């Protein structure tokens, strides 16, 4: 800050002191002008105007300028005698009637000059304040930008995701530590390396950018580390243009572990569903075999008391069916008790089913009670049941004018009940709902059959509740603290 800046700041904050100093200068200048009768020192009135302009507004400056002009004209040599003036001359100088010709014009010119000088100083001070404010704002913006850059750099450097930028030739410009670890460049420089051998999708995206607009997308692709190890890369990328050409920024995540977990979960879910399906079908086979065995026992052996070979084969077939059914039931019963967080399962259901339902013009309403307990069910299998019920509702409302699906979860007595209500045409023959291989059903007609079998395997159930309009399926689940297995 310069001396002038410090003086102007002082003047703005100490107005009374500045006015007192300006008044003293006016009195001093007037006394000097009176005593030097043969010399005009009226220009000295500029100094109190300059001094006080930083502390006065425009009207006050005009008033001070008129006062200084009046005093200048009063003590002008044209008005004063040539010898040393006395008290009588001093009093007479203030009387405009005794002024020399042309005094009025000189008074107006001097007052205008003093006022314009004050206005100039005021405007200059205003410009200085605006410039100082602009400089302060500019410095603050620079400080905030540097702070943002520092925080962004910290975020990038400490991110567990690999973050990198590329130039137009697919060479790495910047990369964080996670990128070095992902591509196995721990002890080698990464900047300037060609990304093509490690993430070829990025080089292809840059070539696509040259022929079109900016690209913002995410992809799953093959990645390769420096040592040749292959991994599944999930990449979020965007292309952009700079003064030096095209560029690309990418965030890369190694999804290999997620893929392994997902496939393991899929296999476990498939095996669990298969055991449930085998158990359900074995139950049906056992019932058929029991009925056939009763009918076989009621048959009369052929004449002579000896069973014929076809008759013996029929008996062996029935016994074989019983063994198959028993084996399937034993396999289905060999399962571990599973607990599922119903709130989490419903959240995942919402993520899966809402987009296709909204695309089909179906409104979805959720009414989930708070504080629902853990339920006895397999997480993935329960998710499959919910998704299957939502898909059935979407198909049922395909030709309905009103399309609405309501999903509610409540605690009723000892059970947690999840209901799927739709505004479709309803079910014409509810007694046939849970039979497998129904004609006209979706796929093989096993959806509801398997869903109920999955729920029964964990002690729950699936039932249809008749409605005046539409249909409602109720999923019954046992809380873990009150579990029951049939």
Please say whether the beta carbons of 382 and 339 come within 8 A: no
d(CA 67, CA 137): 40
State the pLDDT confidence band at 318, using cuts at 50, 70 and 90. Answer: low
CA 387 to chain centre: 27
d(CA 283, CA 324): 10
Query: Would 157 be classed as within a structural domain?
Result: no
Q: What is the CATH number of the domain that holds 201?
A: 3.30.450.20
Mention every residue, 6+ apart, whose C-beta is less than 8 A from residue 43.
none
**How does pLDDT run across 427-464, given as a tens digit for each residue?**
877 777 777 655 554 544 567 888 888 888 888 899 99
Q: Are 19 and 112 members of one domain?
A: yes
**How does pLDDT run across 367-402, given as a tens digit for each residue?**
999 888 999 988 888 998 999 999 999 998 988 889
- Rounded mean pLDDT, 143-151: 92
The predicted structure's pLDDT at residue 321: 59
Q: Are 93 and 172 members of one domain?
A: no
239 pLDDT more than 60: yes
- Percent of the chain scoring above 90 in pLDDT: 25
Q: Which pair of tokens denotes residue 478?
A: 């046992």
**How does pLDDT run across 62-106, given as a tens digit for each residue?**
888 888 877 777 766 565 555 555 555 555 555 665 566 767 777
Q: Are 105 and 170 members of one domain?
A: no
Single out the residue in 254, 275, 291 at which a domain terminates: 254
Q: Are 81 and 10 members of one domain?
A: yes
Q: Are 343 and 468 members of one domain?
A: yes
Single out the residue in 317, 333, 349 at which a domain terminates: 333
Q: Are 211 and 328 members of one domain?
A: no
Per-position b or e across 352-365, b if 16+ CB within 10 A of its CB: ebeeebeeeebebe
Query: Would 358 be classed as within a structural domain?
Result: yes
What is the count of structural domains for the chain?
4
Query: Would 145 be classed as within a structural domain?
Result: no
Higher pLDDT, 276 or 226: 226
Q: What is the CATH number of the domain that holds 374?
A: 3.30.565.10
The predicted structure's pLDDT at residue 485: 41
Q: Are 62 and 171 members of one domain?
A: no
Residue-averaged pLDDT of the chain = 79
d(CA 331, CA 433): 26
d(CA 204, CA 63): 77
Q: Are 289 and 380 members of one domain?
A: no
Which DSSP letter does residue 373 get?
A: P
The predicted structure's pLDDT at residue 14: 74
Give the range of the structural domain holding residue 180, as residue numbers without chain letter: 162-254
265 pLDDT more than 80: no
Lowest model confidence (mean pLDDT) among 37-46, 234-243, 252-261, 451-460 = 37-46
Q: Are 349 and 451 members of one domain?
A: yes
d(CA 366, CA 348): 13
Single out the residue in 221, 239, 254 at which a domain terminates: 254
Q: What is the CATH number of the domain that holds 282?
A: 1.10.287
Per-position b or e across 40-52, b if 16+ CB within 10 A of its CB: eebebbbbbbbbb
Query: Would 364 be classed as within a structural domain?
Result: yes
Q: Are 227 and 285 members of one domain?
A: no
Query: Would 142 be classed as within a structural domain?
Result: no
Query: Would 378 be classed as within a structural domain?
Result: yes
The predicted structure's pLDDT at residue 72: 74
**How does pLDDT run across 397-414, given as a tens digit for each residue?**
988 889 999 999 999 888
Please say whether the beta carbons of 471 and 424 come within 8 A: yes
Q: Are 462 and 353 members of one domain?
A: yes
d(CA 183, CA 225): 4
Location of structure tokens 């409540």: 410
Bridge partners of 417, per DSSP, are 410, 476
The predicted structure's pLDDT at residue 443: 46
Bridge partners of 471, per DSSP, are 422
Q: Are 226 and 270 members of one domain?
A: no
- Rounded mean pLDDT, 244-268: 77
d(CA 478, CA 461): 9
Please say whether the beta carbons of 37 and 81 come within 8 A: yes
Query: Would 468 be classed as within a structural domain?
Result: yes
Query: Would 146 be classed as within a structural domain?
Result: no
């Amino acid at each position: 800050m310069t001396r002038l800046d410090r003086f102007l700041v002082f003047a703005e904050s100490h107005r009374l002191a500045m006015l007192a100093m300006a008044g003293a200068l006016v009195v001093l200048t007037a006394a000097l002008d009176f005593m030097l009768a043969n010399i005009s020192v009226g220009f000295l009135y500029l100094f109190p105007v300059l001094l006080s302009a930083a502390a006065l507004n425009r009207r006050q400056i005009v008033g001070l300028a008129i006062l200084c002009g009046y005093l200048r004209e009063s003590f002008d040599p044209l008005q004063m005698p040539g010898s040393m003036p006395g008290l009588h001359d001093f009093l007479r100088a203030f009387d405009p009637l005794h002024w020399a010709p042309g005094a009025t014009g000189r008074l107006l010119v001097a007052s205008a000059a003093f006022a314009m000088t004050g206005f100039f100083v005021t405007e200059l001070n205003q410009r200085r304040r605006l410039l100082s404010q602009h400089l302060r704002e500019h410095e603050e913006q620079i400080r905030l930008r540097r702070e943002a850059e520092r925080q962004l750099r910290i975020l990038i450097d400490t991110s567990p995701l690999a973050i990198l930028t590329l130039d137009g030739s697919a060479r790495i410009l910047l990369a964080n530590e996670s990128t070095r670890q992902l591509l196995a460049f721990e002890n080698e420089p990464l900047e300037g390396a060609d990304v093509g051998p490690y993430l070829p999708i990025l080089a292809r995206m840059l070539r696509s950018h040259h022929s079109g607009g900016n690209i913002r997308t995410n992809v799953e692709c093959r990645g390769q580390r420096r040592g040749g190890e292959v991994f599944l890369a999930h990449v979020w990328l965007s292309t952009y243009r700079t003064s030096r050409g095209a560029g690309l920024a990418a965030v890369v995540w190694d999804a290999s572990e997620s893929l392994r977990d997902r496939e393991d979960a899929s296999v476990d879910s498939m095996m669990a569903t298969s055991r449930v399906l085998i158990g359900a079908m074995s139950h049906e086979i056992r019932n058929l075999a029991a009925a056939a065995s009763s009918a076989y026992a009621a048959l009369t052996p052929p004449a002579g008391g000896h069973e014929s070979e076809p008759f013996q084969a029929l008996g062996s077939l029935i016994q074989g069916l019983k063994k198959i059914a028993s084996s399937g039931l034993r396999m289905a019963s060999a399962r571990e008790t599973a607990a599922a967080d119903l709130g989490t399962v419903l959240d995942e259901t919402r993520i899966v089913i809402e987009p296709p339902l909204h695309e089909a013009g179906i409104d979805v309403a959720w009414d989930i009670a708070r504080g629902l307990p853990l339920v006895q069910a397999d997480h993935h299998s329960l998710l499959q049941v919910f998704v299957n019920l939502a898909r059935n509702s979407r198909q049922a409302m395909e030709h309905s004018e009103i399309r609405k699906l309501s999903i509610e979860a409540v605690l009723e007595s000892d059970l947690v009940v999840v209901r799927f209500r739709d505004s479709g045409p309803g079910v014409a023959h509810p007694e046939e709902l849970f039979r497998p291989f129904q004609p006209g059903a979706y796929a093989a007609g096993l959806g509801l059959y398997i869903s109920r079998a999955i729920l029964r395997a964990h002690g729950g159930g699936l039932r249809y509740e008749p409605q005046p309009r539409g249909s409602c399926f109720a999923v019954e689940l046992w809380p873990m603290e009150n579990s029951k297995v049939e």
